[in-house]
Chain A
Amino acid sequence: MSHSDQDPNTQRDPGRTTPQRIVIASAVAAVLVAVGAAIYAAGIFNPIAQSPDRDADRGEQIARQDTERRQAWLAERKEYTADPKATPPSLPVAETGYFIPNDVADAPDNQFGDSVRRGYEIFTNTQTNASQHVGNGMNCANCHLGAGTVPGSAPMWAAAVEYPAFRGKNKIINTMEDRIHGCFTYSMNAQNSPSGSPPPRDGDIYKDLQSFFFYMAEGAPLEGNLPGRGYAVPPEPEDGYSITRGETVFENNCAVCHGTSGEGRRDPNGRWIFPALWGDDSYNWGAGMHRVNTAAGFIKHNMPLGQGGSLTDQQAWDVAAYINSWERPADPRQLRDGLTVAETDERFHEHTPNFYGDEVRGDLLGDGIPGEPTAQQPPSIGAPRHSQQASR
């Protein structure tokens, strides 16, 4: 039936009184509300009824805004360089307040840019691009998330402007090269690598990594102490921390990725996807992450992956204690100086919260010998899927 066929008279009001109309209208409205609520509850239209900001391309918007802010900062800097009386440029910061690093994809097309890109490759795939000096299953980016860009994950744009600096750990002035040397020694367990040591001093690995950090940090003030640096450690809970409670946190929130024995997981290409939390493939007893406080800071802000900030401070401390209460590669300083575990404990592990040299589950931690496996290891669940394919 088309519109022109309609007799306007049939649409006339059949002569109801106003109160009648109100009653009918209210009844109809009530029915509509009920039907609407039922449809809503059934979730049929949820895909289209989502709030508009969820569908907005927020990721792209933020990226665009950050690019604009960096460009504005560049323009200010140019002006100031040309004219010292012009207003000095302010810091390029995102809406979150954090520094906006340069994006590696924008690195210049010259020798420096090449070095930046090589540094990025070393940092994100250390296993392949610095394989001679890596003695475990780690990549730098495993502990410095988002290729060293994420605030609260010890980002490299914040680190780049803080060296040289005196460090209590080795009681000397450390350059950035020293710092990287240290990360290879401890976090990457270089003692067990094909070459047996960190990259040779003054080599390209240091230069490329530093180019990469330096490029990201362009515009950050020297000794700027930028927010987001390091792993902000949550306050130690009043009741301290507990390995037993940590085990429950671990089973419920971590094992799905890192494995029930903290052994990590590889993909069918044999590449490490979930890094090991303890054991031979993990960081050694000299690494910063073996300290309960440092690990609690990292975990609180970054784990479970994609859900940083979801654990309570107590859970972060407990699980940090748990993962650091298992055996891992020896402290290289023990071997270097020919010390016993007890001597190493006294010399290097006294002033921080850690389990080095302690007896846990009847096992002396630090001697590099895991305890009786069946008694010591948490129950393991089945064989890893692609174990035979790893060499493909």
Chain B
Amino acid sequence: MIKRHAIRLTPLMLLSLAWPVAAQQVDEDLPDESYAAEIYAVEAEDVDPAAYATLAREGEGDVWSCASCHGAKGQGNGNIPRLAGLSTGYIAKQLHAYAEGVRINHNMQYVATKLTDDEMLGLARYYAEMEAPSNAGPALGGDLDRGQELMIHGDWDINVPACYSCHGSSAWGVEQAFPSLAAQQPAYTYAQLAAWTDGRRNNSPLQLMQGISHALSDADRRAVADYLATLPAPPAEEPTP
């Protein structure tokens, strides 16, 4: 029923697939990008997030405390992202991406490789079900009007749809695969928009964010990162019954 590891691609098939079309597996140990977040969210229904609160707050053995960097309320700071209110599936997908090296960041790769699959799911739900007000604000000198324009209208001259049309009307995300961007730390948002163009971040369903990041200028990235930091934080994800 669940579409796990939808299609296994041989290297030859991969070569024959022109960007950006076709089933997309960025790593052979990871599920298809299009379905990964939803698959993890279904898997996470069976874990109890409360059982992972101590791990998140204090760490354990090799596992560093998440809170030591991401903050006690999961709000993030500087180039460390807010996790509170991101979707379960999206968070779990990113932890797997770090662990498999399709997303490059030394700290998080170290952290993620120490986590078991269940810990990833439990921590994902722990942060998804957390609600914390924004502690972010514009910090990059971006043009907020331009940022709002990109959020609400996009810029079709450079083929960028409104961020709103995938990330939701309040930028609080849409279901599992489309993360909330609201109240995110601007330095972090800015860094991600650069990471998709320089290869430090290879994941994203259908490479949707690669195309958009390439089209945005440096000024655009600052503008939209600062604008997103002015928005109210996302609500907590409803716990699965």
Contact = CB atoms under 8 A, between A and B. Distances in A.
A307 B211 contact: yes
Contact of B21 (A59, A268, A311): A311
A210 B161 CA distance: 25
A389 B238 contact: yes
Interface stretch (A13-21, A47-55, A177-185): A47-55
Given A47-B194, A253-B206, A256-B35, A379 B174 contact: no
A5 to B, nearest CB: 40
A249 B42 CA distance: 24
A310 B206 CA distance: 11
Nearest to A248: B23
B172 A385 contact: no
A91 interface: no
A253 B21 contact: yes
A231 B61 CA distance: 60
Interface string A258-295: 00100001111101011000000000000000000000
Contacts of B2: 379, 381-382
B1 A379 contact: yes
Given A55-B218, A56-B217, A271-B168, A62 B21 contact: no
A379 B165 contact: no
Given A269-B169, A310-B21, A255 B34 contact: yes
A251 to B, nearest CB: 7
A347 interface: no
B177 interface: yes
A265 B218 CA distance: 31
B127 to A, nearest CB: 14
Contacts of A383: 240
B160 interface: yes
Interface stretch (B48-56, B70-78, B133-141, B197-205): B197-205
A220 B221 CA distance: 34
B166 interface: yes
B10 to A, nearest CB: 16
A47 B110 CA distance: 23
A381 B220 CA distance: 35
Given A304-B206, A306-B208, A384 B20 contact: no
B130 interface: no
A59 B198 contact: no
Interface string A380-392: 0111111111001
Contacts of A385: 41, 87-89, 174-176, 237-238
Interface residues of B, number: 65
A60 B198 contact: no
B158 A305 contact: no
A268 B240 CA distance: 15
Contacts of B220: 57, 59
Interface in B191-241: 194, 197-200, 205-206, 208, 211-212, 214-220, 234-235, 237-238, 240
A332 B89 CA distance: 40
Contacts of A306: 159-161, 208, 211-212
Interface string A301-339: 000111110110001000000000000000000000000
A58 interface: yes
A47 B213 CA distance: 12
Interface string A32-58: 000000000001001100100011111
A381 B35 contact: yes
A268 B205 contact: no
Nearest to B157: A62
Given A305-B161, A307-B20, A310-B20, A381 B219 contact: no
B3 interface: yes
A392 to B, nearest CB: 7
Contacts of B175: 265, 384-386
B217 A273 contact: no
B13 interface: no
Contacts of B160: 59, 306
Contacts of A381: 2-3, 35, 38-39, 42
B235 A59 contact: no
Interface string B27-58: 00000011100110110000000000000000
Contacts of A252: 21-24, 34
Nearest to B218: A55
Nearest to B23: A252
Nearest to A267: B168
A59 B154 CA distance: 10
Interface string B152-164: 0111111111001
A256 B177 contact: yes
A43 B195 CA distance: 11
B38 A382 contact: yes
Contacts of B34: 251-252, 255-256
Contact of B168 (A257, A268, A384): A268
Interface of B: 1-3, 6, 19-24, 33-35, 38-39, 41-42, 87-89, 146, 153-161, 164-166, 168-170, 172-178, 194, 197-200, 205-206, 208, 211-212, 214-220, 234-235, 237-238, 240
- The 10 A-B pairs with the shortest beta carbon distances in the complex, nearest first, are A267-B168, A256-B34, A46-B198, A382-B42, A385-B175, A62-B157, A59-B155, A57-B217, A146-B156, A59-B158
Interface of A: 43, 46-47, 50, 54-60, 62-63, 66, 94, 145-147, 149-150, 251-253, 255-257, 260, 265-269, 271, 273-274, 304-308, 310-311, 315, 379, 381-389, 392
